[in-house]
Amino acid sequence: MDPKRMKRFKNDLIKVIPMTPNDINTKNELESESISSVLLYYINWAARLIKPKPRQVIYDKILENNPNWIKYKNEIQALINKVEKGEDLYPHLSLRVASKGYTAKSRIEETDNCWEDKDFILNVMGFHHFHLDNTNVINNGFLGRTNHVIFAKVQKDTFEIIGIFDHQVFESDTTSDQLNIERQKMWDLCDKHSSIPLANNPNGMIVMNRPITLSGNSVSTIRMVQNYMHVVKEIDPKIDTDEYVNLLYKEVSLPKPKKHKLKWAMNYMDLGLVDSSKNFFLFRHGDEIYNLL
Protein backbone atom coordinates (compact mmCIF):
# COMPACT_ATOMS: atom_id res chain seq x y z
CA MET A 1 0.00 0.00 0.00
CA ASP A 2 1.19 3.50 -0.80
CA PRO A 3 2.23 5.13 2.54
CA LYS A 4 1.25 8.63 1.43
CA ARG A 5 -2.17 7.46 0.25
CA MET A 6 -2.75 5.60 3.53
CA LYS A 7 -1.70 8.64 5.57
CA ARG A 8 -4.10 10.85 3.62
CA PHE A 9 -6.91 8.31 4.06
CA LYS A 10 -6.29 8.22 7.82
CA ASN A 11 -6.09 12.00 8.09
CA ASP A 12 -9.33 12.43 6.12
CA LEU A 13 -11.09 10.10 8.56
CA ILE A 14 -9.66 11.89 11.59
CA LYS A 15 -10.94 15.22 10.27
CA VAL A 16 -14.58 14.07 10.51
CA ILE A 17 -14.54 11.90 13.64
CA PRO A 18 -15.92 13.93 16.60
CA MET A 19 -13.48 13.88 19.55
CA THR A 20 -13.90 14.14 23.31
CA PRO A 21 -12.29 16.21 24.61
CA ASN A 22 -11.96 18.12 21.37
CA ASP A 23 -8.36 19.24 21.80
CA ILE A 24 -4.89 18.79 20.33
CA ASN A 25 -3.98 16.00 22.77
CA THR A 26 -6.91 13.86 21.68
CA LYS A 27 -6.12 14.57 18.04
CA ASN A 28 -2.48 13.56 18.54
CA GLU A 29 -3.58 10.39 20.29
CA LEU A 30 -5.86 9.50 17.39
CA GLU A 31 -3.13 10.27 14.85
CA SER A 32 -0.83 7.79 16.61
CA GLU A 33 -3.27 4.96 15.91
CA SER A 34 -3.00 2.62 12.90
CA ILE A 35 -5.18 3.15 9.83
CA SER A 36 -7.26 0.07 10.74
CA SER A 37 -7.90 1.40 14.27
CA VAL A 38 -8.91 4.82 12.96
CA LEU A 39 -11.22 3.11 10.46
CA LEU A 40 -12.78 1.18 13.35
CA TYR A 41 -13.45 4.42 15.27
CA TYR A 42 -14.87 5.99 12.13
CA ILE A 43 -17.26 3.13 11.28
CA ASN A 44 -18.39 2.83 14.90
CA TRP A 45 -19.37 6.50 14.70
CA ALA A 46 -20.66 6.54 11.10
CA ALA A 47 -22.97 3.59 11.83
CA ARG A 48 -25.04 6.04 13.89
CA LEU A 49 -25.66 8.23 10.84
CA ILE A 50 -28.36 7.58 8.24
CA LYS A 51 -27.40 7.95 4.60
CA PRO A 52 -30.19 10.00 2.95
CA LYS A 53 -32.12 7.89 0.45
CA PRO A 54 -35.76 6.81 0.05
CA ARG A 55 -36.64 3.79 2.16
CA GLN A 56 -39.76 1.71 2.60
CA VAL A 57 -41.26 2.17 6.06
CA ILE A 58 -42.62 -0.96 7.68
CA TYR A 59 -44.06 -1.61 11.13
CA ASP A 60 -46.53 -3.82 12.96
CA LYS A 61 -49.93 -2.11 12.69
CA ILE A 62 -50.56 -2.94 16.35
CA LEU A 63 -48.27 0.00 17.13
CA GLU A 64 -51.02 2.35 15.98
CA ASN A 65 -52.97 1.36 19.13
CA ASN A 66 -50.15 2.49 21.41
CA PRO A 67 -51.34 5.57 23.37
CA ASN A 68 -48.06 7.37 22.66
CA TRP A 69 -48.31 6.57 18.95
CA ILE A 70 -51.78 8.09 18.96
CA LYS A 71 -50.54 11.12 20.92
CA TYR A 72 -47.63 11.76 18.52
CA LYS A 73 -49.36 10.54 15.37
CA ASN A 74 -48.67 13.73 13.39
CA GLU A 75 -45.01 13.86 14.41
CA ILE A 76 -44.53 10.17 13.58
CA GLN A 77 -46.17 10.59 10.19
CA ALA A 78 -43.93 13.57 9.46
CA LEU A 79 -40.88 11.39 10.24
CA ILE A 80 -42.25 8.59 8.03
CA ASN A 81 -42.73 11.07 5.18
CA LYS A 82 -39.09 12.17 5.49
CA VAL A 83 -37.90 8.57 5.42
CA GLU A 84 -39.96 7.71 2.34
CA LYS A 85 -38.74 10.82 0.51
CA GLY A 86 -35.11 10.14 1.42
CA GLU A 87 -34.65 13.37 3.38
CA ASP A 88 -31.77 13.89 5.80
CA LEU A 89 -32.63 12.40 9.23
CA TYR A 90 -29.55 13.79 11.00
CA PRO A 91 -31.59 16.52 12.81
CA HIS A 92 -33.61 13.75 14.56
CA LEU A 93 -30.57 11.86 15.89
CA SER A 94 -29.02 12.03 19.35
CA LEU A 95 -26.89 15.10 20.14
CA ARG A 96 -24.09 12.67 21.03
CA VAL A 97 -23.56 11.98 17.33
CA ALA A 98 -21.94 15.41 17.02
CA SER A 99 -19.41 14.89 19.83
CA LYS A 100 -18.97 11.20 20.67
CA GLY A 101 -16.89 9.58 17.94
CA TYR A 102 -13.57 9.04 19.70
CA THR A 103 -12.91 9.53 23.40
CA ALA A 104 -9.41 9.98 24.78
CA LYS A 105 -8.09 6.88 26.54
CA SER A 106 -7.47 8.85 29.74
CA ARG A 107 -11.13 9.80 29.91
CA ILE A 108 -12.25 6.21 29.28
CA GLU A 109 -10.01 5.07 32.14
CA GLU A 110 -11.26 7.88 34.38
CA THR A 111 -14.93 7.09 33.82
CA ASP A 112 -14.39 3.32 33.49
CA ASN A 113 -16.98 3.44 30.72
CA CYS A 114 -16.17 1.88 27.35
CA TRP A 115 -19.56 3.13 26.09
CA GLU A 116 -18.49 6.77 26.41
CA ASP A 117 -18.31 7.12 22.62
CA LYS A 118 -20.60 4.27 21.55
CA ASP A 119 -24.33 3.78 21.12
CA PHE A 120 -25.17 0.80 23.34
CA ILE A 121 -28.61 0.16 21.84
CA LEU A 122 -27.34 0.38 18.26
CA ASN A 123 -24.27 -1.79 18.89
CA VAL A 124 -26.10 -4.45 20.89
CA MET A 125 -29.54 -4.48 19.23
CA GLY A 126 -29.10 -2.75 15.90
CA PHE A 127 -31.74 -0.09 16.63
CA HIS A 128 -31.41 3.63 15.82
CA HIS A 129 -33.55 6.13 17.72
CA PHE A 130 -35.13 9.34 16.44
CA HIS A 131 -36.53 12.41 18.21
CA LEU A 132 -39.95 13.51 16.99
CA ASP A 133 -39.72 17.33 16.97
CA ASN A 134 -40.16 18.66 13.43
CA THR A 135 -40.07 22.43 13.87
CA ASN A 136 -37.70 23.66 16.60
CA VAL A 137 -34.07 23.86 15.52
CA ILE A 138 -31.81 24.05 18.59
CA ASN A 139 -28.14 23.94 17.50
CA ASN A 140 -25.74 22.27 15.07
CA GLY A 141 -28.68 21.45 12.81
CA PHE A 142 -30.49 19.31 15.38
CA LEU A 143 -34.22 19.57 16.03
CA GLY A 144 -35.68 19.93 19.51
CA ARG A 145 -35.31 17.03 21.91
CA THR A 146 -38.45 15.05 22.77
CA ASN A 147 -39.12 12.77 25.72
CA HIS A 148 -40.48 10.12 23.37
CA VAL A 149 -38.38 8.60 20.60
CA ILE A 150 -38.95 6.16 17.77
CA PHE A 151 -36.74 3.08 17.59
CA ALA A 152 -36.13 1.67 14.12
CA LYS A 153 -33.97 -0.89 12.37
CA VAL A 154 -32.52 0.96 9.38
CA GLN A 155 -31.22 -1.01 6.43
CA LYS A 156 -30.30 -0.20 2.85
CA ASP A 157 -33.87 -0.03 1.52
CA THR A 158 -36.09 -0.37 4.60
CA PHE A 159 -36.89 1.53 7.78
CA GLU A 160 -38.56 -0.88 10.21
CA ILE A 161 -40.14 0.89 13.18
CA ILE A 162 -39.72 -1.23 16.30
CA GLY A 163 -41.61 0.89 18.81
CA ILE A 164 -42.01 4.22 20.58
CA PHE A 165 -40.35 4.74 23.97
CA ASP A 166 -39.84 7.47 26.53
CA HIS A 167 -36.35 8.37 27.75
CA GLN A 168 -36.43 5.86 30.60
CA VAL A 169 -35.42 3.35 27.94
CA PHE A 170 -31.88 4.78 28.14
CA GLU A 171 -31.67 4.50 31.93
CA SER A 172 -29.81 1.50 33.35
CA ASP A 173 -29.62 0.88 37.10
CA THR A 174 -26.59 -1.35 37.69
CA THR A 175 -27.53 -1.74 41.38
CA SER A 176 -30.82 -3.46 40.63
CA ASP A 177 -31.75 -6.74 38.96
CA GLN A 178 -34.99 -5.18 37.75
CA LEU A 179 -35.29 -3.21 34.50
CA ASN A 180 -37.62 -0.24 34.29
CA ILE A 181 -40.76 -0.77 32.20
CA GLU A 182 -39.47 0.98 29.07
CA ARG A 183 -36.12 -0.82 29.09
CA GLN A 184 -37.80 -4.20 29.66
CA LYS A 185 -40.13 -3.49 26.75
CA MET A 186 -37.14 -2.70 24.56
CA TRP A 187 -35.35 -5.95 25.46
CA ASP A 188 -38.54 -7.93 24.85
CA LEU A 189 -38.85 -6.41 21.38
CA CYS A 190 -35.19 -7.09 20.71
CA ASP A 191 -35.66 -10.76 21.64
CA LYS A 192 -38.76 -10.93 19.45
CA HIS A 193 -37.01 -9.55 16.38
CA SER A 194 -33.93 -11.70 16.97
CA SER A 195 -36.06 -14.86 17.12
CA ILE A 196 -38.04 -14.18 13.93
CA PRO A 197 -35.66 -16.32 11.81
CA LEU A 198 -36.47 -19.34 14.00
CA ALA A 199 -40.09 -19.33 12.89
CA ASN A 200 -39.03 -19.53 9.25
CA ASN A 201 -36.54 -22.33 9.74
CA PRO A 202 -38.12 -25.78 10.33
CA ASN A 203 -34.70 -27.36 10.87
CA GLY A 204 -33.91 -24.96 13.68
CA MET A 205 -31.03 -22.56 14.05
CA ILE A 206 -29.15 -20.72 16.75
CA VAL A 207 -29.91 -17.01 16.82
CA MET A 208 -28.01 -14.58 19.03
CA ASN A 209 -28.05 -10.83 19.43
CA ARG A 210 -25.16 -8.86 17.97
CA PRO A 211 -22.05 -10.09 19.86
CA ILE A 212 -20.02 -7.35 21.56
CA THR A 213 -16.33 -7.25 22.45
CA LEU A 214 -14.98 -6.02 25.80
CA SER A 215 -14.19 -2.68 24.14
CA GLY A 216 -17.88 -2.16 23.38
CA ASN A 217 -17.42 -2.61 19.64
CA SER A 218 -19.75 -5.01 17.88
CA VAL A 219 -18.12 -8.01 16.22
CA SER A 220 -19.92 -6.91 13.05
CA THR A 221 -18.03 -3.61 13.08
CA ILE A 222 -14.68 -5.30 13.62
CA ARG A 223 -15.31 -7.76 10.78
CA MET A 224 -16.37 -4.88 8.58
CA VAL A 225 -13.06 -3.10 9.21
CA GLN A 226 -11.18 -6.31 8.41
CA ASN A 227 -13.17 -6.65 5.19
CA TYR A 228 -12.46 -3.05 4.18
CA MET A 229 -8.75 -3.27 4.95
CA HIS A 230 -8.53 -6.43 2.85
CA VAL A 231 -10.03 -4.50 -0.08
CA VAL A 232 -7.65 -1.59 0.41
CA LYS A 233 -4.61 -3.87 0.54
CA GLU A 234 -5.73 -5.72 -2.59
CA ILE A 235 -6.66 -2.70 -4.70
CA ASP A 236 -4.23 0.00 -3.60
CA PRO A 237 -1.16 -1.33 -5.51
CA LYS A 238 -3.22 -1.30 -8.74
CA ILE A 239 -4.23 2.35 -8.48
CA ASP A 240 -0.94 3.54 -9.97
CA THR A 241 -1.29 1.41 -13.10
CA ASP A 242 -2.91 2.84 -16.24
CA GLU A 243 -4.48 -0.50 -17.08
CA TYR A 244 -6.44 -0.65 -13.83
CA VAL A 245 -7.43 3.03 -13.82
CA ASN A 246 -8.67 2.81 -17.42
CA LEU A 247 -10.79 -0.19 -16.48
CA LEU A 248 -12.14 1.64 -13.42
CA TYR A 249 -13.51 4.52 -15.51
CA LYS A 250 -14.70 2.21 -18.26
CA GLU A 251 -16.82 0.16 -15.84
CA VAL A 252 -18.82 3.25 -14.84
CA SER A 253 -18.89 4.74 -18.37
CA LEU A 254 -16.89 7.84 -17.42
CA PRO A 255 -14.12 9.44 -19.48
CA LYS A 256 -10.77 9.27 -17.75
CA PRO A 257 -9.61 12.82 -16.95
CA LYS A 258 -6.02 13.87 -17.55
CA LYS A 259 -5.59 14.46 -13.82
CA HIS A 260 -7.53 11.88 -11.84
CA LYS A 261 -5.46 11.49 -8.63
CA LEU A 262 -7.44 8.76 -6.89
CA LYS A 263 -7.62 8.53 -3.12
CA TRP A 264 -9.46 6.30 -0.66
CA ALA A 265 -12.59 7.75 0.89
CA MET A 266 -15.62 6.89 3.00
CA ASN A 267 -19.11 8.09 2.09
CA TYR A 268 -21.05 7.39 5.28
CA MET A 269 -20.13 3.68 5.62
CA ASP A 270 -19.45 3.09 1.93
CA LEU A 271 -15.82 2.45 0.96
CA GLY A 272 -14.49 3.65 -2.37
CA LEU A 273 -12.05 5.70 -4.36
CA VAL A 274 -12.68 9.32 -5.23
CA ASP A 275 -10.95 11.33 -7.94
CA SER A 276 -10.21 15.03 -8.34
CA SER A 277 -13.64 15.57 -9.95
CA LYS A 278 -15.40 14.02 -6.91
CA ASN A 279 -16.38 10.89 -8.85
CA PHE A 280 -16.87 8.11 -6.27
CA PHE A 281 -15.99 4.53 -7.24
CA LEU A 282 -17.84 2.23 -4.84
CA PHE A 283 -16.12 -0.93 -3.61
CA ARG A 284 -18.18 -1.82 -0.55
CA HIS A 285 -21.75 -0.81 0.31
CA GLY A 286 -21.67 -0.21 4.05
CA ASP A 287 -25.38 -0.64 4.81
CA GLU A 288 -25.39 -4.09 3.24
CA ILE A 289 -22.24 -5.34 4.95
CA TYR A 290 -23.05 -3.87 8.39
CA ASN A 291 -26.34 -5.75 8.57
CA LEU A 292 -25.00 -9.02 7.19
CA LEU A 293 -21.85 -9.59 9.26
Domain range holding 196?
A: 53-207
pLDDT value of position 256: 85
Whether residue 190 contacts residue 209, with contact meaning beta carbons closer than 8 Å, is answered with yes
Together in a domain, 91 and 165? yes
Together in a domain, 191 and 82? yes
Together in a domain, 89 and 18? no
pLDDT value of position 94: 92
pLDDT tens digits, 249-290: 999 999 888 878 899 999 999 999 999 889 999 999 987 766
Together in a domain, 68 and 199? yes
Together in a domain, 186 and 226? no
The residue ranges of the chain whose pLDDT is under 70 are 173-177, 190-191, 193-210, 289-293
Together in a domain, 200 and 220? no
Together in a domain, 221 and 293? yes
Q: Which of 207, 223, 253 is the last residue of a domain?
A: 207
DSSP state, residue 186: H
DSSP states along 195-246? HHHHHT-TT--------B-TTS-BHHHHHHHHHHHHHHHHHGGGTT-HHHHH
CA gap 221, 291 in Å, rounded:
10
Of 228, 161, 225, 241, nearest to 193 by C-alpha is: 161
DSSP states along 43-80? HHHHTTS------EEE--GGGGGSHHHHHTHHHHHHHH
CA gap 32, 86 in Å, rounded:
38
Together in a domain, 6 and 140? no
pLDDT value of position 198: 44
Neighbours of 64 (CB within 10 A): 11
What contacts 62, CB < 8 A, 6 or more positions away?
none
Together in a domain, 146 and 22? no
Amino acid identity, residue 13? L
Together in a domain, 91 and 39? no
pLDDT value of position 258: 80
Q: Which of 149, 184, 207 is the last residue of a domain?
A: 207
Q: Which of 152, 182, 207 is the last residue of a domain?
A: 207
pLDDT value of position 19: 94
pLDDT tens digits, 207-224: 455 677 777 778 888 999
Together in a domain, 289 and 170? no
**Domains: count for the chain:** 2
pLDDT value of position 199: 47
Whether residue 153 contacts residue 162, with contact meaning beta carbons closer than 8 Å, is answered with yes
